[in-house]
């Protein structure tokens, strides 16, 4: 047995091993292995996208948690005739946080999708 370099992660692996112990990529894959790799990659991709989707829901929930009390203040302001200052309302931080999180997650989703399609 000798050590060779894994073609995909460049780490040392045994030349007898069929699968790299570091990155799980197949060495000299046959048709069956390629099929298995495809299924595995799809599952990884699907799980990743699912987690991202959950994160976008979380981001939206955070934004709503900030937005609702702001609207509540706004409604009260109309009732009592004072000026509601949204910039000073604590809800604005939650709205901004939710918005930023949402955008970041969408970027990661886009990159993951592009990566999956090119891979």
Binding residues (CB under 5 A) for Zn ion: these are: 6, 9, 20, 22-23
Min CB(69)–Zn ion separation in Å: 51
Min CB(31)–Zn ion separation in Å: 21
Among 23, 48, 26, which residue's Cα sits nearest to residue 37?
A: 26
Closer of 44 and 53 to Zn ion (Cβ): 44
Closer of 12 and 85 to Zn ion (Cβ): 12
In order, the DSSP letters of 8-74 are TT--EEETT-SB-TTT-PBSS--HHHHHHHHHHHHHHHHHHHHHHHHHHHHHHHHHHHHHHHHHHHH
Min CB(11)–Zn ion separation in Å: 5
Closer of 21 and 115 to Zn ion (Cβ): 21
């Amino acid at each position: 047995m000798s050590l060779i370099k894994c073609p995909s992660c460049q780490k040392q692996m045994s030349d007898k091993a069929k699968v790299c112990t570091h990155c799980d990529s197949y060495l000299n894959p046959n048709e069956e292995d390629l099929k298995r790799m495809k299924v595995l990659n799809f599952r990884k991709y699907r799980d990743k996208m699912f987690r991202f989707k959950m994160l976008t829901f979380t981001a939206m929930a955070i934004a709503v948690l900030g937005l609702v009390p702001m609207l509540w203040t706004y409604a009260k302001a109309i009732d009592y005739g004072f000026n509601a200052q949204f910039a000073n309302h604590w809800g604005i931080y939650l709205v901004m946080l939710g918005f930023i999180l949402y955008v970041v997650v969408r970027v990661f989703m886009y990159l993951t999708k592009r990566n999956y399609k090119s891979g």
